Amino acid sequence: MDLNLSNAMIDEVGDLFRALGDSSRLRILKSLLSKEEPMSQGALADAAGLSQANASKHLACMVRVGLVTREAKGNTVFFSPTLPLAKDICNLVCGHVTERTTRAYHALR
């Protein structure tokens, strides 16, 4: 952690981690990262098992904290993960969770 961060910047970091703390947002991020191309809100809602309104709320949060970008094309809005940030964070955290659960599983055997 950069120890020279101001309190305002620490608050921004907290907002990013809060955004990542919601499983619906993680499902949206997983869909975006696995598709490897921009996706519409409707496609993301379907992929994440969310209503359009709920997906819209989560996508607005993700855009606000910089996890995804939005681009309007005609009447449709497409979303993309902010790379490499989104992919790096997911790989780091998912790798940690995988290692931790693997160790816990082996400890029970």
Q: Tell me the per-residue pLDDT of 55-80, one tens digit each, with 9 for 90 and over.
A: 999 999 999 999 999 999 999 999 99
**pLDDT score for 11:** 93
Q: Are strands 39-40 and 76-81 parallel, antiparallel or unpaired?
A: antiparallel
- 8 to 13, 16, 88: CA distances (angstroms): 9, 13, 24
* Sequence spans of domains, the chain: 7-108
Share of the chain above pLDDT 70, in %: 98
The answer to whether domain 7-108 has CATH 1.10.10.10 is yes
pLDDT exceeds cutoff 80 at 10: yes
pLDDT exceeds cutoff 80 at 2: no
Q: pLDDT-derived band of residue 109, with 50, 70 and 90 as boundaries?
A: confident
Helix locations, the chain, DSSP H: 7-20, 23-35, 41-48, 52-65, 85-108
